[in-house]
């Protein structure tokens, strides 16, 4: 465990699975004194305050700029705590609770009594979290009370994965940061309403609808409109990947789920944003593919996290991604080796940058050929996910 000071908040580096008792004791003390902490969960980092402390809850609403009518979820460490807060649980709620938690899920339970908690007085449903995290469960126990569970961001802004960004952004607003390293997903917890019959999926986060159904052994209702995201990767994101993006968009524009498919692209190089190369734009236009509005972007965790499938133009792009982002390896592919058992001599689409327009034409046709080859299997993936 490492103690230091970063700007105005206390910063403690500790393991999430084997947290230092000193770190837990310090965080619990800050919570009991009315402070705000940042702590890791099994999904995102969360802001924590004691849920009974009106001043602390108000500070947290102000910090997040959150609508007062939108309550936080509550971090607990036992079924008993949920039962006490709600004024009792039905046998059905108890059964489903035990099947889903601990886990990357927020469950909504019926409040059977008026809640004496700031911001919760008007509620008939309460959201609860028990992460698969020793730190979280020890923290609630040591604090002596449930605490708030709310992602570390400003309301409606993207979630944050890098601890250095979290520390810099909120250094003057919190009292202590329990740091266990970067998070590996930005989706957050899935939210399921257990007050409905059958249960209703409100938000699909790290745990998909199908997995929740397997856990509960029943079919549930989903209010989620899924989107299938395909991301192409090349080096600078000005030639090959925007070509692939434009070609596939045209191939899919009249398919059944066209409106639910997002196609984007990014580069492995951290370059300044720019348009696609002039040659790529002209060659595409000759084939009735428009990439003139493309603006390049370097790859980042948010792009990878959102993608359902990531298709690399060359083997070295694949190697870079798998080495730097191993948590996404199961959805990263090389275009030319997808859906084939053929032993290829060259698995990469050549980089046309600096080459003639005739070479760009060859690259366009090669990418188009490969995309048409994998299109049937890609449509099966899309149909399975969206239907």
What span, in angstroms and rounded, lies between the C-alpha atoms of 205 and 184? 13
Q: Where are the alpha helices (DSSP H) in the chain?
A: 21-32, 54-64, 79-86, 91-100, 134-143, 163-170, 209-216, 240-252, 278-286, 301-306, 315-324, 357-386
Residue linked to tokens 């032993």:
343
Q: Which pLDDT tens digit goes with each residue over 330-342?
A: 999 999 999 988 8
Cβ-based neighbours of 55, under 8 Å, separated by 6 or more: 34
Are 247 and 367 contacting, i.e. CB atoms less than 8 angstroms apart? Answer: yes
Cα separation, 169 vs 187, in Å, equals 20
Q: What is the pLDDT along the chain (387 residues), one digit of tens a residue?
A: 544 444 467 999 999 999 999 999 999 999 999 999 999 999 999 999 999 999 999 999 999 999 888 889 999 999 999 999 999 999 999 999 999 999 999 999 999 998 888 888 888 999 999 999 999 999 999 999 999 989 999 998 989 888 999 999 998 899 999 999 988 888 999 999 999 999 999 999 999 999 999 999 999 999 888 999 999 999 999 999 999 999 999 999 999 999 999 999 999 999 999 999 999 999 999 999 999 999 999 999 999 999 999 999 999 999 999 999 999 999 999 999 999 888 889 999 999 999 999 999 999 999 999 999 999 999 999 999 998
pLDDT in tens, 144-181: 999 998 999 999 898 988 899 999 999 889 999 999 99
* 330 DSSP assignment: G
Q: Which residues contact 259 (CB under 8 A, 6 or more apart)?
A: none
List the 73-75 sheet strands across, edge first: 2-6, 9-13, 176-179, 37-40, 45-48, 147-151, 73-75, 125-129, 105-110, 190-193, 200-203, 221-222
Contact between 125 and 143 under an 8 Å Cβ cutoff? The reply is: no
Across the strands, what pairs with 191?
Answer: 106, 203
Pairing between strand 2-6 and 9-13?
Answer: antiparallel
Q: In terms of CATH architecture, what is 228-386?
A: 3-Layer(aba) Sandwich (3.40)
The 3-state DSSP composition of the chain as helix, strand, coil percent (nearest 5) reads 40, 20, 40
CATH 3.90.870.10, the chain: domain bounds? 2-222
Domain span(s) for CATH 3.40.50.2300 in the chain: 228-386
Residue 174's nearest CA partner among 2, 8, 45 is 8
What is the model's pTM? Answer: 0.85
Gyration radius from the chain CA atoms? 24
User: What DSSP character marks residue 275?
Assistant: B
Task: Return d(Cα 57, Cα 44) in angstroms, integer.
Answer: 20
**What is the phi-psi region of residue 144: left when phi exceeds 0, alpha when psi lies from -120 to 50, beta otherwise?**
left
Cα–Cα distance for residue pair 248/264, rounded to 1 Å: 10
pLDDT tens profile 172-219 = 899 999 999 988 888 999 999 999 999 999 999 999 999 999 999 999
Top-tier CATH class for 2-222: alpha beta
Count CB atoms within 10 A of the CB of residue 121: 11
Ramachandran category for residue 189: left, alpha or beta (phi over 0 → left; psi -120 to 50 → alpha): beta
Report the relative pairing of strands 2-6 and 147-151 from DSSP bridges: unpaired
């Amino acid at each position: 465990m490492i103690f230091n000071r970063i700007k105005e908040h206390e910063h403690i580096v500790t393991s999430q699975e084997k947290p230092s008792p000193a770190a837990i004791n310090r965080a619990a003390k800050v919570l009991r004194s009315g402070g705000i902490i940042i702590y890791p969960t099994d999904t995102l980092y969360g802001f924590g305050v004691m849920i009974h402390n009106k001043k602390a809850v108000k500070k947290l609403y102000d910090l997040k700029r959150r609508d007062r009518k939108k309550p936080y979820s509550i971090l607990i460490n036992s079924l008993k705590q949920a039962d006490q807060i709600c004024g009792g649980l039905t046998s059905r709620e108890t059964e489903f609770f035990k099947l889903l938690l601990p886990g990357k899920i927020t469950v909504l339970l019926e409040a059977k009594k008026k809640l004496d908690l700031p911001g919760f007085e008007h509620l008939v449903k309460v959201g609860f979290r028990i992460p698969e995290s020793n730190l979280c469960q020890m923290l609630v126990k040591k604090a002596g009370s449930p605490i708030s569970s709310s992602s570390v961001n400003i309301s409606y802004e993207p979630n944050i994965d890098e601890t250095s960004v979290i520390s810099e952004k909120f250094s003057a607003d919190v009292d202590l940061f329990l740091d266990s390293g970067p998070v590996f997903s930005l989706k957050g917890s899935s939210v399921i309403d257990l007050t409905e019959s059958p249960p209703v999926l409100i938000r699909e986060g790290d745990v998909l609808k199908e997995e929740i159904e397997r856990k509960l052994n029943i079919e549930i209702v989903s209010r989620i409109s899924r989107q299938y995201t395909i991301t192409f990767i090349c080096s600078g994101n000005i030639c090959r990947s925007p070509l692939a993006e434009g070609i596939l968009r045209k191939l899919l524009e009249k398919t059944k789920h066209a409106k639910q498919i997002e196609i984007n692209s990014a580069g492995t190089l951290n370059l300044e944003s720019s348009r696609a190369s002039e040659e790529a734009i002209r060659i595409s236009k000759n084939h009735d593919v428009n990439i003139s509005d493309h603006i390049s972007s370097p790859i980042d965790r948010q792009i990878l996290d959102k993608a359902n499938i990531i298709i690399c133009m060359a083997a070295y792009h694949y190697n870079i991604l798998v080495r730097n982002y191993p948590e996404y390896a199961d959805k990263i592919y090389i275009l030319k080796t997808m859906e084939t058992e053929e032993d290829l001599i060259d698995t990469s689409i050549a980089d046309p940058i600096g080459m003639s327009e005739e070479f760009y034409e060859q690259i366009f046709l090669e990418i188009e050929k490969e995309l048409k080859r994998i299109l049937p299997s890609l449509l099966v993936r899309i149909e399975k996910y969206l239907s």
